[in-house]
Amino acid sequence: MSDSLGIPDPGKLGLHQAFRAWTNPDVGGPSFGSLVVLDASALLHLYRVTRAAREQVFATLKNVEDRLWVPHQAATEFHRNRRGVVEGKMAQFRDMRLTLAQASAVAVSNLKKSVQRLVEFRQYNMAGRDWAPQEHGLDEKSIHDRLVGVMDSALAELKALQDEHDIGPGDIGNADPILQRLDLLTRGRIGKPYSQPQLTKIVSEAIEFRFPNEIPPGYKDAGKKSPYGAAGDYVFWRQILDRASEEPRHKLITLVTNDVKSDWWVFDKNGEPIRPRPELGQEMFECTGAQLRLLTLSGLLGTAAAKFPGSVSVETVRSVRRSETMTRIAETVSVLRASASEAVDSELQSLPPFVFEQLVLALLIAMGYQDAESVVDSSTPGYSIRAAHPHSNLASGITLVAIERGSEPIESESIHALKKAMQKHAAESGMVVTTGEFSQTAKKATGASDIQLIDGRRLLKLLHEFLEIGATISTLPEGE
């Protein structure tokens, strides 16, 4: 079943054998495989994590240093985008600092408006007693004086957090410690560029044949203005195939990438990437005889924790995985915000399920919910997200959120399933988010439970208010 180089001949494999060969990259247990390919998206994420997490990533890469390889396309994209990643991270800190610094002024304004409403309400109801806000410390100056310094501890925590992220824009042009260490790890392990004729041919193949037929990877970038920019993922993929073909001793190619678009990955129902698209595994196997495994940076750390005990902490794996999720959420929101000016589809019904769930997560975070995360609990269905209620006085304060998408009204069964989950997990409150509407029986089923029903129209208003997203839902009936 193999040629002189040991590469299996796909034409001599049965249907089941061929499928297992394409999709079974875990033979031999938790191994990194014979070649570990690093993508720019994973390398760039080093600028988004803390110094402590970064040290464990470098320790992991050091353990497989002799098997590392970076395609030329990945190296190019890394150098092209690292400044933007760092500046984006610093912009997040600036925005948060501004939000905290302005919080007192916003609070003063809101409190002043509330007091003024009381003054007007007293006049409307012909109050017979004298009552002056300043006599009770409720004039604007008194309120302001009472709030001076109230956010100091929050600003101090933000500064401490920023100190943990020690790379700034100035480091990119000078002595970038991440670049220096990566240079040592990957010296002699960077792929060669294509010649101009080769590159022209590959880009043409991507644009003219593969993308119209949605052959992965890269077709999700087909809308980019530059043909070379659109074909970047396919150029990267071809370089990996070429390398694996040149050295058939590699039986497993582990690609570490944080590009989690659906033209690379198969996702579970929770929206988490779990394995490569079968077409990619098939192409890798047929071209090289090797199996393909995809790992995110957190997946690489998790594998390292199993193979090299003590090298990576569970806390680091979790924190990096959460930072990856938050990056994906931010990217989703960014694309939707740009939809009006860039003609990106902002129709919520057209979003993949995992992207829609990320959007709901982003909305909950913007609304003040803490520790919002996707959850899959097969023993208790009925909800998709667990979060801490922002106004709860209870120690638990858990809110369970169910997500329903479709044009048919939500019926009472969904409410009963959420109630059952709330009872099992001692949740204080619940929420059902839908792009449609709720039936009258569903509304009645909430009873005395603290369950919010967010229908499609309210969802659009919340997205606009908290995320500045002007989305649409074409299946909503006309009218209010």
The widest CA-to-CA distance across the chain, in whole angstroms, is 102
Query: Quick check: helix, strand or coil at residue 152?
Result: helix
CB contact at 8 A, 167 and 86: yes
Q: What is the pTM for the complete model shown?
A: 0.72
The tokens for 275 are 């394995």
- Burial class for 59, CB neighbours closer than 10 Å (0-12, 13-18, 19+): middle
Report, as an integer, the average pLDDT of 4-20: 48
Mean pLDDT confidence for 344-352 = 65
Over residues 248-301, the pLDDT tens digits come to 777 899 999 999 888 898 887 666 788 899 999 999 999 988 899 999 999 999
Looking at residue 200, its pLDDT comes to: 94
What pLDDT score was predicted for residue 87?
83
Q: Is residue 159 pLDDT above 60, yes or no?
A: yes
Give the Cα separation of 465 and 457 in Å (integer). Answer: 13
Phi and psi at residue 399, to the nearest 5°? -115, 130
Q: Is 288 exposed, middle or buried (0-12, 13-18, 19+ CB in 10 A)?
A: buried
All residues at 6 or more sequence positions from 147 whose CB lies less than 8 Å from its CB, including other chains: 104, 107, 108
What is the model's pLDDT at position 41? 93
pLDDT at 170 over 90: no
Do the beta carbons of residue 230 and residue 223 sit within 8 Å? Answer: yes
pLDDT for the residue 270: 64
Percentage of residues of the chain with pLDDT beyond 90: 28
CA neighbor of 36 nearest in space, from 177, 186, 178: 186
Distances (CA, A) of 227 to 119, 142, 224: 63, 61, 7
The model's pLDDT over 366-420, given as tens digits with 9 standing for 90+, comes to 888 887 777 755 455 778 888 887 765 555 678 999 998 877 888 999 999 999 9
* pLDDT > 70? residue 13: no
Q: Is pLDDT at 17 greater than 70 in this prediction?
A: no
**Letter string b/e over residues 396-417, b meaning 16 or more CB atoms within 10 A of that residue's CB:** ebbbbbbbbbeeebbebebbeb
Q: How many other CB atoms are found less than 10 A from the CB of residue 117?
A: 10
CATH 3.40.1350.10 location in the chain:
342-467
Please give the Cα distance from 211 to 370 (Å, whole number). 40
Tallying the residues shown for the chain, one arrives at 480
- Whether residue 475 is predicted with pLDDT greater than 80 in this model: the reply is no
Question: What is the 3-state composition of the chain as percent helix, strand, coil, each rounded to the nearest 5?
Answer: 55, 10, 35
pLDDT of 7 reads 44
- Which pLDDT value is given to residue 207? 93
Q: At 154, is the pLDDT very low, low, confident or very high (cuts 50, 70, 90)?
A: confident
For residue 219, the one-letter residue type is Y
**Pair 269, 53: CB distance under 8 Å:** no
Strongest mean pLDDT among 189-198, 224-233, 242-251: 189-198
Report whether pLDDT(130) > 90.
no
pLDDT value at 149 more than 60? yes
- Closest residue by Cα to residue 446 from 396, 405, 411, 476: 411
447 SS3 class: coil
Give the pLDDT score at 14. 54
- Which ranges of 125-205 would DSSP assign to H, the alpha helix? 140-147, 152-164, 169-173, 177-186, 196-205
Q: How confident is the model at residue 343 (pLDDT cuts 50, 70, 90)?
A: very low
Digit-coded pLDDT (tens) for 417-429: 999 988 888 888 8
What pLDDT sits at residue 380? 57
What's the CATH fold of domain 342-467?
A: Trna Endonuclease; Chain: A, domain 1 (3.40.1350)
Mean pLDDT over each residue of the chain, to the nearest integer: 82
Bridging pattern class, strands 385-388 and 398-404: antiparallel
Can you spell out the DSSP letters for 282-345?
Answer: HHHHHHHS-EEEEE-HHHHHHHHHHHSTTSS-HHHHHHHHHHHHHHHHHHHHHHHHTHHHHT--
pLDDT of 369: 85
State residue 450 phi and psi, 5-degree precision: -85, 80
